[in-house]
Amino acid sequence: MAEISTIARPYAVAIYKLGKEKKALAKWSEMLSFVTAVSQNAAMKAYIADPKVASGDLQASFLKICGNKLSEQGQNLIKTLVEYGRLSILPAITDAFEELKAQDEGVLDAQIIAAAKLSASEIKDLVKRLETKFGKKVEASVSVDSEIIGGIKIIVGDTMIDASVKGQLQNLAYTLAA
């Protein structure tokens, strides 16, 4: 079976193109965030996954819950996803859409993993350096992982900068094994 992101991406690209054309990217962002929240509700997840529920009933229930929060195109998206049994991939569609929107706006998401808690000034300095390196605005999420022993690991899109002690030790072990 295809990976969820592979299935979700064409939907996200189509929504992005439609939103860009209609100058409604922010509206689509709101709608996708809302329908994703609805689909992730525990009771709704169980309802979506229940094979006994007819697709017509699921569609009607979902759209009724969403009320007037969806445009006509948003309702059509839900109808299509229900028809093809893909309502459960809404979170992946939303993530892919937000990624496309961020690229369009020139914003990159960076994940900074540090061995110890970083100060606000250290984070600000790192973000400034990343913005200089990539030539775009960077929004960073910072987490602490003591397993990297020391240093930091930075992930920006497909790029990983591993300046951790654990990463250096793994590189050394690989070099010695070769």
Spans of all domains in the chain: 4-102, 107-177
The answer to whether the pTM exceeds 0.85 is: no
CATH for 4-102, among 3.40.50.720, 1.10.520.20, 2.60.120.10, 3.40.50.300?
Answer: 1.10.520.20
pLDDT for 1: 46
CATH number of 107-177: 3.40.30
Measured from the Cβ of residue 57, the count of other Cβ atoms closer than 10 Å reads 13
| pLDDT values of the chain reduced to their tens digit, one per residue, 178 residues | 468 888 999 999 999 999 999 999 999 999 999 999 999 999 999 999 999 999 999 999 999 999 999 999 999 999 999 999 999 999 999 999 998 998 888 888 899 999 999 999 999 999 999 999 988 889 999 999 999 999 999 998 778 999 999 989 998 998 998 7
Q: Which residues pair with 142 in a beta bridge?
A: 112
Q: Structure tokens of 55?
A: 């697709």
Q: For residues 101 and 45, what is the distance between their CA atoms, to the nearest angstrom?
A: 27
